[in-house]
Structure formats: structure tokens, C-alpha cells
Structure 1
């Protein structure tokens, strides 16, 4: 197998610069996640089923930077609106990170969306069903520390948000 392509990733083989062994890389589009703060001061999470762990998660609104927008900020605005019905507000880039540079080539762009408000109904994609959950920043910290929130990219984005608040 030298290449496997799906609608969300492609697996390719390559040789690293200093080795004769074949390695595989998961080529993915960039991702976004959003630390969205409602006008009430609460953080908006989404509760959704994740096939990889066969369980429900609590995480930040997130998604792919699709070819149609190819712009992380526009993708973040779209994902927040689709998954939660929230929008508007003031948007700030929190930066980006490599989710798993050992085997993936993409970036995850994190954004802070302050003072967002409910402006639409949820419009999930075919394979997702999200339920917004609003919590205080203190509760988010507690849920990370107690393992109720385990999504590493959500935890990383929350850390970037906390660092910005200092």
C-alpha cells in the first residue's frame, strides 16, 4: 500500500531524509478549534459522539479547513455556527499547533471568539450530532483536571486562551 485516500485524509508512504525504511504519513487538511465565550461569560463546548473512542466527548467546537474556504478564520466561524448556532463576536487568533507531527502534516488553528451570541439553529454535517454545553472557565479547568474533558486539542487551545488572559 503506497496510498490510501478518504474524504478526510490520505495515507502516503515516504522515506525520511536519513533512513532507508519506509514510513507512512497521514496527510490531512488543516483543522480549527474555537474557545467561544458567550455574552454570559461562559465557554461553549459541544457534546458529541466520537467513533475513535466509541463514546461521547465534551470538547471545543472544531472542524476542518475545507477547500471551499481554505481560510482558518472563515472555517472557524463556519464550524462554530454549524455546531452550536452561535456567531458574531470579536475573533482573535490564538495561534496554531501540529496535532501529531510524527505522522501527520497538518496544523490545528485555534481561535478565541468573545461575546458570541445564539443567532441560528445547529446545522450539523451528515456524520455529527452536536449538543452545546455552556460552562464557566473555572468549570472547564476542573473538568480538564478531573478527566471529564480529554480531547488534547481542546485542552491545548484552552491553555492558549488562559495564557492570553494573563
Structure 2
């Protein structure tokens, strides 16, 4: 990269690996010539889905989040898997697996790097419309999820009150409210 702010990677190793992500340790050279270490989380891309029902409700999940020690309310989301044909396939799969809902249509909303100072995460946000229950949840072994529906206004109120704390959901909801076409 020709940008004068760019760092040059001299060496990289996986310092720790577990299901879902790796911790990468790099030796980098900064623009001023200083050599130092840099660690980051390396994880696959993810999808996040704001799922709208035919009666203008929003499908949300409540899920235990061990890292913060509480139930977290948010939108269906998950990792893009090797067998996914494309990002929309991953979004449809995660919506159905986590909620039992399927969508008539699915459109891209935005793509963001939510924590690019610490991780190489990329989150692809989608809008699913015409969502309806079509079966049972098919949760991963490490998921415990409750499904409900609510209104966008109730979610916005919860966000304003500090009760909706999931960053992926907050961004997806606000981006939808500001930029999506109904």
C-alpha cells in the first residue's frame, strides 16, 4: 500500500486459536520505522438481519451472552460459513436457524467493520421482508435463544433508554431508519 500511514507486516503467527476466531500476532513496522507487535482477532465475516413481518413487526432474539454475563436483545446474526453460496444465503440461513422465520425478500442494507482497531470483523447487514414463522429453530450447540416480535418504535425507544445494547442491532436499526426505503 502506498499510503504514508500504512504499516508494513514483517511476520504473522496465530497466537491462539479456538472455534470461531483466532488471535493473530504480527510484527509490524510503523511509518516512522519503529518495529512493534500488534495483536488482533481474526474471524469470518458475519451477517445481521433486520427481519420485518408482513404486519410491520420486527423479529428479535434474546440470547445469553457470556462475555457480558446477561441476556442480550438483538437481531438474528451469525457467521458466514464455507458452504454458503453468497452472503444472502448466509443471512437467510441465520434468520431461519435462530428464529424459525423465513423471508419473502432479502436485500443488502450496509457493510461495516465494527471493531477495526481490534478485529478484522466485517458485518453484512440485510433487510428481510415478508417474514413469517415456517418451522423450528435449529440452534448451534452454544446458542440459547428466545424469539419474539416487537415494533421498530419500541426498539428505538429501548435504544434511546440504553436498554438495547447490542452494537450490531443498534447500527442495523439506525441505518435502516435513516437510509432504507420502505
TM-score, with structure 2 as normaliser: 0.86
Corresponding residue for residue 8 of structure 1: 20
Report the 3-state secondary structure (helix = DSSP H, G, I; strand = E; otherwise coil) of the residue aligned with 1:156: helix
Q: Which has the larger radius of gyration?
A: 2
Deviations 1:101-143 (A, max 9, x none): 0011120000000111111111111011111121111101001
User: Which of 53, 61, 65 is the equivalent residue of 2:68?
Assistant: 53
Corresponding residue for residue 147 of structure 2: 132
- Give runs of aligned pairs for residues 52-131 of structure 1, distance below 5 A: 52-69=67-84, 71-131=86-146
Deviation at residue 95 of structure 1 after TM alignment: 1.4
Gaps of 5+ in 1: none
Distance 2:72 2:40 in 1: 26
Distance 1:165 1:142 in 2: 21
CA RMSD of aligned residues (A): 1.5
Which stretch has the larger CA shift, 37-46 or 10-19? 10-19
Gaps of 5+ in 2: 1-12
Spell out structure 1 runs of 4+ moving beyond 3 A: none
Query: Is 1:156 the counterpart of 2:171 in the alignment?
Result: yes
Where relative contact order (Cα < 8 A, 6+ residues apart) is larger, the structure is 1
- Which is richer in strand? 2
Corresponding residue for residue 5 of structure 2: none
Distance 1:105 1:17 in 2: 19
CA contact (8 A) 2:48 2:123 kept: yes
Distance 1:94 1:49 in 2: 26
The aligned length equals 166
